[in-house]
Amino acid sequence: MEWHHDKFTVSDDRTRVDVHIVTKLLGDTYWAHRRPPHVVERLIGNSLCFSMFRGGEQIGFARLVSDRTVFSWLSDLVIEKSLRGRGLGRWFIKCILNHPDVAGTQFVLQTRSAHRLYEQFGFELNDKLMTRLAPAYDQQMKPTR
């Protein structure tokens, strides 16, 4: 599925996601700056991904972990720094929330800096969410098979 706005496109086509660009975009965030490319590649493969493009250049990324029935976790929404403040984030969120596979689900997310942005879309801050942080990537145990 694709959405278009001026020179920008949002796509849910996972095959269009550029792992290296997403790793770079996430590397500029406070929450994902330590994710190595192999981790980014794996999370792309296990998520409903949304990419934002200007022409053919990927300039944004977001993903959902969802059962596509009742629950969706919005994560890793990021837009290239030089393009922020133009309303692209609001448009990006609208595209994601209206995707037909998840539009009827409950959405949750974590943020420490974008409350006002998400509140515009009905997200409410509450004290019900519990979080367990993952160990550092270099300390995670590899599964044995």
Is the CB of residue 31 less than 8 Å from the CB of residue 74? Answer: no
Do 57 and 93 meet the contact criterion of CB atoms below 8 Å apart? Answer: no
Quote the number of domains for the chain: 1
State pTM to two decimals: 0.86
Q: What residues make up the domain containing 83? A: 2-123
* Share of residues in the chain with pLDDT > 70 (%): 92
Domain-located, residue 100: yes
In a domain, 134, yes or no: no
User: So what's the pLDDT on residue 23?
Assistant: 95
Distance CA 24, CA 36 (A): 10
What confidence tens digit (pLDDT) does each residue in 31-52 have? 888 889 999 999 999 999 999 9
| SS3 assignment, position 67 | coil
Residue 131 lies in a domain: no
Q: Find the CATH number of the domain harbouring 10.
A: 3.40.630.30
Q: Is residue 40 part of a domain?
A: yes
